[in-house]
Amino acid sequence: DAKTTQPTSMDCAEGRAANLPCNHSTISGNEYVYWYRQIHSQGPQYIIHGLKNNETNEMASLIITEDRKSSTLILPHATLRDTAVYYCIAGDVGGSRLTFGEGTQLTVNP
Amino acid sequence: GAVVSQHPSRVICKSGTSVKIECRSLDFQATTMFWYRQFPKKSLMLMATSNEGSKATYEQGVEKDKFLINHASLTLSTLTVTSAHPEDSSFYICSAHGTLHYGYTFGSGTRLTVV
């Protein structure tokens, strides 16, 4: 499983877009990029995942570079409830081990 | 969507006793389940991976005799912390992966306190 690198922390103003970067330069061809977030003392919550193409759902958008070495999670209109630790993880669709990096603490400020 | 139920959410036990934590996939069959441990202000640390009907694969440094994992069915995995000690106090989280969806779904976690 590829290692991912994320900034330790980020701040964002409420109502603005939050752009969270992730580097995964050693990602293999069969590994998806998954994003999860964890609010204090809860289990991680699934946000979005993608392989090559950009993806969008009701929570966020995922932009993956053409070489797949990095990606950006976009929360289009951040709210105070989006304050959490965001994890970017590379994992294959076959259900092999999923290991977490340190993640990014996103703080949304009023 | 896929739901994983984890129980109990909190448990306090005495040193030397054993504690069992259950992880159930409610609306899908989980061919693989994962158990994580998390210390305060730290990331999730993978403890073991279990496939239904076979022995769990433990990560390096995790004592398999202390953390017993059973994955007897496609919807249930259990983690038993045997002869618990205060240093086993932690937040334990399970995750499940099924064949019909590509995501990994996590339980809500179990806060274990050993006194």
The secondary element (H helix, E strand) that includes residue B56 is none
Calculate how close chain B gets to A57, using CA atoms only, in Å: 14
Q: Supply B34's token pair.
A: 């994962």
B1 contacts B102 by C-beta, under 8 angstroms: no
Of B98, B104, B109, the CB nearest to A91: B104
What does pLDDT average to over chain A?
93
Closest to A97 in 3D by CA, of B81, B38, B44: B44
What is the Cα–Cα distance from B87 to A84, expressed in whole angstroms?
26
Judge whether B41 is closer than 8 Å to chain A, CB to CB: no
Of A32, A38, A95, the CB nearest to B32: A95
* Cβ-nearest to B43 among A42, A93, A101: A101
Cα→Cα distances B11→A17, A20, A105, B46, Å: 39, 35, 28, 21
CB A110 within 8 A of CB A16: no
Classify A69 as helix, strand or coil. coil
Q: What is the pLDDT of residues A21-62, one digit of tens each?
A: 999 999 988 889 999 999 988 999 999 999 999 999 999 999
- pLDDT > 90: what percent of chain B? 76
* pLDDT tens digits along B75-93: 999 999 999 999 999 999 9
Two tokens, residue B51 = 């496939």
How confident is residue B100, by pLDDT bands cut at 50, 70 and 90?
Answer: low
Q: With contacts defined as CB-CB under 8 Å, which chain A residues touch B108?
A: 42-43
B42: its two tokens:
């730290």
Residues 6+ positions from B23 with CB-CB distance below 8 Å:
B4, B5, B6, B33, B35, B76, B77, B78, B79, B94, B96, B107
* Number of Cβ atoms within 10 Å of the Cβ of A70: 18
Residue B71 near residue B4, CB atoms below 8 Å: no
Instruction: Tell me the C-alpha distance between B69 and B55, whole Å.
Output: 8
What was the pLDDT predicted at B19? 98
Interchain proximity B34–A32, CB inside 8 Å = no
A34 touches chain B (CB under 8 A): yes
The distance of A104 to chain B (nearest Cα, Å) reads 10
